[in-house]
Structure formats: C-alpha cells, structure tokens
Structure 1
Amino acid sequence: MSISRTLETFLDEHAVAYQLVHHPHSDSASRSAEAAHIPGDEVAKAVLLVEEDGQYRLAIVPATRRVKLGRLHRLLGEHVGLATEDEVAGVFADCERGAIPALGPAFGLDTLVDESLLEQHHVYLEAGDHECLVRLREPDFRYLLGQPRRGQFSAHV
C-alpha cells in the first residue's frame, strides 16, 4: 500500500495535483519528515479527537508540534479527548495503524487546523502507510480542507 483508497479517491475527485514521496519506514510524522528529508514544519500530523458526545474530529498540526488539549478546550468551548488506537483504526480502516492522513474531509471528519501549518509553501501528509507522504501545494491543501476551524492550539515539541 502507498496511499489509502479513500484519500486517493478524494484527491482525484477534487482534481488537485499531488506527488507521492516515498521514504524508509517510520513510526511517526516527525520521523517521516526526517526519513524523507523534509522540514518537520511542512509535515501535517493528524490527531483524532473524540468529543463528549462520541463524535470524532481531526486536529492537524505540524509534525514539530503537539496538540495542547487545554487550548482546544478554549477554542471549541467544550472538552475533547484523544481517541484510542482502536478508534483510530476504525475511522481510518483503509490505513495502516497510526498512519492518519491529515485531511479530515476525505474521511467525513470535521477538522481543526493549527495556524502554524498554513504558513508553509507545501504541506506533506501521511498517505495511509508508514512509507509514503503526499505532497500538496499549500493552496491546494487549504482547498481540500474546505472551511476548517483554525486556531493556535499547539506547542513545539
């Protein structure tokens, strides 16, 4: 596998240009950046959140940053928590465990994006496995996200 079918279909339906960037196996977004020789600020890391009512939402931050739940609580006005590995596997069924593509709309998820990621010229995201990234121009990434809630809810690792 190199790209999840769900993600590939979404990209093709929206007719955006993208490139697949293959790299040695890695176990996190920051290690994918390292393996692909890409600045970590350009790699989008996706974090699946679960709301109090059981609904899921995707938070996207650069690989060099981590989600700060307190900031998210203030931004949303409600409490959210991190989804379990089993929940992540269920939502992203056609992806390898832990390789979450940072495009919530492709998977029917409301999305939050950290402002710091939108300062890049290109954005790379997991393709759905641990050996491939999708490279998008930042305007195409914004287009694919639709109208996500934006804010500053991360801090450098």
Structure 2
Amino acid sequence: MSDGGPTGRQRVRVDAEAHGLAVEIVSRPAADTLEDAASLLGVGPSDVVKSLVVRRHDGSFLFALVPGDRQISWAKLRSVVGVNKLSLPRPEIALDATGYERGTITPLGSTTAWPVFADERITGRRVALGAGEHGYSAFVDADALITAYAATVADISD
C-alpha cells in the first residue's frame, strides 16, 4: 500500500493468525485463465476459490466463496441470505468495502469483517484463494477457514 500501511499479504497473515487459521501464502505468476492459475498452483480448478464481495440492497456487503469452476447462483445466495436483491459492486466500491482490489479479494484481513457465505463444495479440502495482493495466492484448509470466520455453508453456486 502506498500509504506506508501493511501490505495486503501482511493483513492476510495478521488476520489469519488472530483467527487461529494457518495460511500459506505463495507467489505465482499472472494467469490468463482459471485452468492456468490452477496449473501454476498445482491444484484443480475447483480448488481455486473465488472470493466475491457482494453488495446487499441496504449498502452492506458479504463475501461469497465459490469454487473456481462454478458460478455464483444469485437465486440460491439470495435465498440463503434471506434478501430479494444482491449485486456485484463496481471495482472501486469493492476496494472501499474490503481494502482489496478485484483479483486479490479475500475475507482474511478485509478492512471490514463482512459475513462469509461459503459454497458447500469447498469443504473438506485445502483451497487457494486471494492473498490480498496481485501475484500471490493463499492456501488454507477450507473447513478451518469456515470455522475461523463463522461462515455460513450452503449450496450457493451453479
């Protein structure tokens, strides 16, 4: 960060430690596709978890964690959250809400601890997600992540 504050990776590490979550941050080259990113990380596409910041109608946000090879199901997520309207905010709004740019977003170290909703398909394995900075990924045990961040686990993807 240009203001001399902690880097995104540092925020991820500090927050993970505060939550008792083991995290391994690895450097990785840029990738053009999900398949390339997964290959560079030595995992399958479903093990690369997308951390999406989602805006509620009231202006608050939540995180939706979805396997890389699936898409968020708006109808399913709305049902689980219990609202009629959800949307993806513009990149600058997502940055304001989390302190992270798109492509680096993660619940770990977010400037606000928004609620986390995890797709049930990420459970029971080690997954890679954004690490707060471009060129890095964070590996975590999905079940430990869900526990540490009190995530709601449900079928939220297609």
Pick the TM interval, shorter chain.
Answer: 0.7 to 0.9
The percent identity for this pair of structures is 21
Contact 2:106/2:129 (CA < 8 Å) preserved in 1? yes
2:31 to 4, 26, 46: 26
1:138 to 135, 142, 157: 142
Q: Which runs of 5+ in 1 are unaligned?
A: none
1:152 counterpart residue number: 155
Distance 2:33 2:96 in 1: 19
User: Residue 8 of structure 1: CA displacement?
Assistant: 1.6
Question: Does 1:16 pair with 2:21?
Answer: yes
Residue deviations 1:24-73 (CA, integer Å, cap 9, x gap): 12367665323323112112211111111111111111111110112212
Which residue type is aligned with residue 6 of structure 1? R
Task: Tell me the TM-score normalized by structure 1.
Answer: 0.82
Task: Tell me the TM-score normalized by structure 2.
Answer: 0.81
Question: Does 1:82 pair with 2:88?
Answer: yes
Contact 1:88/1:98 (CA < 8 Å) preserved in 2? no
Contact 2:49/2:128 (CA < 8 Å) preserved in 1? yes
More strand by share: 1
What number of residue pairs does the alignment pair up? 152
Contact 2:25/2:136 (CA < 8 Å) preserved in 1? yes
Paired residues for 1:112-123 under 5 Å: 112-119=117-124, 121-123=125-127
| Structure 2 residue matching 1:99: 3-state secondary structure | coil
**Cα distance change, pair 31–58 in 1 and its aligned pair in 2 (3 A):** farther
Distance 1:149 1:139 in 2: 11
2:4 counterpart residue number: none
User: Residue 107 of structure 1: CA displacement?
Assistant: 3.7
Alpha carbon RMSD of aligned pairs, Å? 2.5
**Cα distance change, pair 86–60 in 1 and its aligned pair in 2 (3 A):** same
User: Residue 87 of structure 1: CA displacement?
Assistant: 0.8
User: Residue 153 of structure 1: CA displacement?
Assistant: 1.4
